[in-house]
Amino acid sequence: MQAEGRREHDTDLENIQKCIRCGSCMPVCPTYAESTRESESPRGRVALVKGLFEGTLEITPNLERLLYICLDCRACQTACPTGVRVGELVVAGRTRIEEEKARRPILRRALRSALFDWALADHSNIELAMVPLRLYQSLGLCKLVRATGMLKPLGKLDLMDRFLPRLPARSLRQEIDEVIPAPGNRRYRVGFFLGCVMNTVFANASRATLSVLGRNGCEIYVPRQARCCGAPLFAEGERERAKNMARKNVDLFAAADLDAIVTDCAACGAELKRYDELFDGDPEYGAKAAAFSARVLDITEFLAGIVEANPPAGSLNRTVTYHEPCHLVHAQGVSKAPRRLLKAIPGLRLVEMKRSNWCCGSAGSYAFTHSDYSMRFLDAKIANATATGAEAIVTGNPGCALQLTYGLEKHNVKMPVLYFTQLLEEAYRANVDGAMASRHRVGAGVGQ
């Protein structure tokens, strides 16, 4: 149950100075592969941020565009021989832009405040925001809108509508207790960080996660007052808002005696693991945040060795391929554990796709803010996935799941997108002889 990789602590200046301009980052950068422009490469972005910090570059619309067109996928960090954390520098540049451009247009400021100060400030607010969307679907309006194509002239609004999966009737947080006892002998006491999107959109996937944890002897603590991990805010340069949420999460989990803090959302895991950096040197939260981050594990990191030693009795006669979330493989350095977990499921065959660790184009809101690039990256990902001949795509991040599901529907490919624990739960529920108990199936995909 050890994390595969940890990042070093560097100041932004030390990070910049590590760049030797060797170009190792360029072949793995999706935006550079698309445009072949130096300014859209990791090496170019390091130079831009350096100029911004040194005052030799002014904040212009073009500079802002170049820093925000970055997917922040961190593939360059995996490839960099000297350990430059380009993603951290890009986010630092965005933070500087947001600080300097505090007087944004009033509509943009209002929208950011509604998202960051209200919706993401409390799970109950997100749950409330989902009510009209559930009505939109349950009343059949969604089917009518899509059938008539009435939103197509509105471009991005139409795209947002088509990204929306079938929502569960209730959020997972509303259905579970704060402490879920282990069904039998308790082997571990774990905290479960329930992500915002996992809670409200992919409740079925996280429900499977809780079930699998329970089957492996875990008592589970799911604090009801947990906040957003802060990843959406940090990616948009909202560092102080992100830190406010982080303090609440650190305090909630610090109060519990836990063997580990696990999450089935790669984006959440990446952010939770960097709380120690957010509060590095902080006299009040420095030590607490470091202790918190040291216990955070992706669900695949926590389960891989456990499931290998005690695999499900049931067998899944199925072929899958794996899309690696950027937040998992690059930001957290976790690549082996997901594959170990999949290979531990009896009867499951894993076929690797080409460029499995390349971004699918989701990157938070990137599909809507930079739709042209995003859709090209998505088309390539779907082509690579279908070329494997697999029956399903497995992933571990809600943004990827939404993006991939949209891409499969766009290309009329009948292939579900599944989470690791959905497959595990299905195997646990299978009969010993391999016959599937169909009434207990988790579901055809993450959005169902």
Domain ranges of the chain: 12-100, 311-440
pLDDT for 101 equals 66
pLDDT for 102 equals 60
Q: Which two tokens stand for residue 193?
A: 């960080």
Segment 422-437 mean pLDDT: 72
pLDDT for 440 equals 37
Q: Which residue has the higher pLDDT, 352 or 9?
A: 352
Segment 393-405 mean pLDDT: 97
- For 344-368, write each residue's pLDDT tens digit: 999 999 999 999 999 999 998 899 9
Q: Is the pLDDT of residue 437 over 50?
A: no
Number of helical (H) and strand (E) elements in the chain, helices listed first: 24, 9
pLDDT for 424 equals 96
pLDDT for 3 equals 52
Q: Which residue has the higher pLDDT, 442 or 295?
A: 295
Q: Is the pLDDT of residue 74 over 60?
A: yes
- For 23-51, write each residue's pLDDT tens digit: 999 999 999 999 999 999 999 999 999 99
CA atoms of 141 and 174, how far apart (whole Å): 25
Tokens 């202790």: give the residue: 291
Q: What percent of the chain has pLDDT over 70?
A: 92
CA atoms of 292 and 52, how far apart (whole Å): 33
CATH no. for 12-100: 1.10.1060.10
In order of 41, 49, 327, 351, the CA distances from 26 in angstroms are: 6, 17, 19, 27
The dihedral region occupied by 24, where left means phi > 0, alpha psi between -120 and 50, and beta the remainder, is: alpha
Q: Is the pLDDT of residue 134 over 80?
A: yes
Residue 415 in contact with residue 408, Cβ under 8 Å?
yes
Q: Which two tokens stand for residue 381?
A: 């990902």
Tokens 């998992």: give the residue: 328
Residue 421 in contact with residue 209, Cβ under 8 Å?
yes
CATH label, 311-440, candidates 1.10.3720.10, 3.50.30.30, 3.40.50.10700, 3.65.10.10? 3.40.50.10700
Beginning with the edge strand found earlier in the chain, give each strand of the sheet holding 218-221 in spatial order.
179-180, 218-221, 188-192, 260-263, 296-298
Q: Residue 22: pLDDT band by 50, 70, 90 thresholds?
A: very high
Count, residues in the chain: 448
β-strand 188-192 against 218-221: which pairing, if any? parallel
What does the buried/exposed string (b/e) look like for 225-255 if buried means 16 or more CB atoms within 10 Å of the residue's CB? Answer: ebbbbbbbbbbbbbbebbbbbbbbbbebbee
Q: Which two tokens stand for residue 44?
A: 């170019």
Segment 146-173 mean pLDDT: 90
CA atoms of 141 and 443, how far apart (whole Å): 24
Q: Is the pLDDT of residue 435 over 70?
A: no
Q: Residue 104: pLDDT band by 50, 70, 90 thresholds?
A: low
- For 207-259, write each residue's pLDDT tens digit: 999 999 999 999 999 999 999 999 888 877 788 888 999 999 999 999 899 99
Question: 160 Cβ partners below 8 Å, 6+ apart?
Answer: 368
CA atoms of 223 and 294, how far apart (whole Å): 19
Q: Residue 106: pLDDT band by 50, 70, 90 thresholds?
A: confident
